[in-house]
Amino acid sequence: MNTAEVILVPVLSDNYAYILHKGDQVAVIDPGQPEPLIYELDNRDLTPSVILNTHHHSDHIAGNKALLDKYGARLVAPESERARIPGINKAVKDGTIIEFADETIEVIDTPGHTSGHICYHLPQSKILFAGDLIFAMGCGRAFEGTAEELYASIEKIKALPAETEIYCGHEYTLSNAEFCLTVEPDNDELIARHKEVKQYRDNNLPTIPTTLEKEMQTNVFLRAKSAEEFADIRQKKDNF
């Protein structure tokens, strides 16, 4: 069985939006800005039928309206964010299943960064759109939740298959790696990955996607063994 194609589209200063494509189905994830997406879609002759939002922050939704108007797409977003995300056509929550080509996209509630944050998981293609929950070697700030909530959300993602590809909302990888090294200076995989992402960024290349397996080896937030340890690392990162 073939897997869905993901096209990474840099938007704003350090955000990534994504085009998900399989068969004749096209989705856009977290359009923080419309123009770069319209450019990529039109270039490839793709027409999205659905837009997926992970959370209400404007760097993830500001392009919704332009894309909905231009392509007549439907907007899928968290049910609990009806008041903060205009124009929702299909409100979703934990366990909602969205059909996409010959596979499914499953919604996972992952509160903490914002109260209504969700992730989109394609179990068949082994793809996760993580929004601002997990970054390469990092995780989102607990803006609207406690560190404990964020930890619980990340634990859910850790239960997915290790080979799952993670597509996150920002290119924060190099500074995240530098922070991780302050927590685990002797982690060989982390040392090697830091060198590798430095090269990528020096050449202006994206470091995304990552995989759950790589994150388990190098992301100090996923490596925390308790909510307390996680909260302590989250606080250190806030002051890094």
Applying CB under 5 A, among 30, 81, 132, 165 the residue interacting with Zn ion is: 132
User: For residues 162 and 2, what is the distance between their CA atoms, to the nearest angstrom?
Assistant: 19
Beta carbon nearer to Zn ion, 21 or 170:
170
Q: Which stretch binds Fe ion (CB under 5 A): 109-117, 164-172, 181-189, 204-212?
A: 164-172
Using rule CB under 5 A, residue 59 touches Fe ion = yes
If one asks whether residue 132 binds Fe ion (CB under 5 A), the answer comes out as yes
Closer to Zn ion at the Cβ: 20 or 130? 130
Closest-CA residue to 138 (of 72, 210, 31) = 210
The count of chain residues that interact with Fe ion, using the rule CB under 5 A, is 4
Give which of Fe ion, Zn ion, none residue 215 binds (C-beta under 5 to 8 Å, depending on kind): none
Count of beta carbons in the 10 Å neighbourhood of residue 26: 22
Residue 117 binds Zn ion (CB under 5 A): no
Q: CA geometry: angle at 106 spanning 233 and 89, to 5°?
A: 105
**Residue 171 touching Fe ion (CB under 5 A):** no
In the range 46-65, which residues lie near Zn ion by CB under 5 A?
Answer: 57
**Total count of residues recorded for the chain:** 240
- DSSP letter at 208? -
149 binds Zn ion (CB under 5 A): no
Q: Which is nearer to Zn ion, 109 or 132 (CB)?
A: 132
Span interacting with Zn ion, options 24-32, 37-45, 132-140, 220-228, rule CB under 5 A: 132-140
Quote the CA–CA distance of 224 and 228 in Å, as a whole number.
Answer: 9
Task: Return d(Cα 217, Cα 173) in angstroms, integer.
Answer: 15
What span, in angstroms and rounded, lies between the C-alpha atoms of 9 and 166? Answer: 15
CB of 45 to Zn ion, least distance (A): 31
CB 165 within 8 A of CB 119: no
Q: Which residues of the shown chain bind Zn ion in the complex (CB under 5 A)?
A: 57, 132
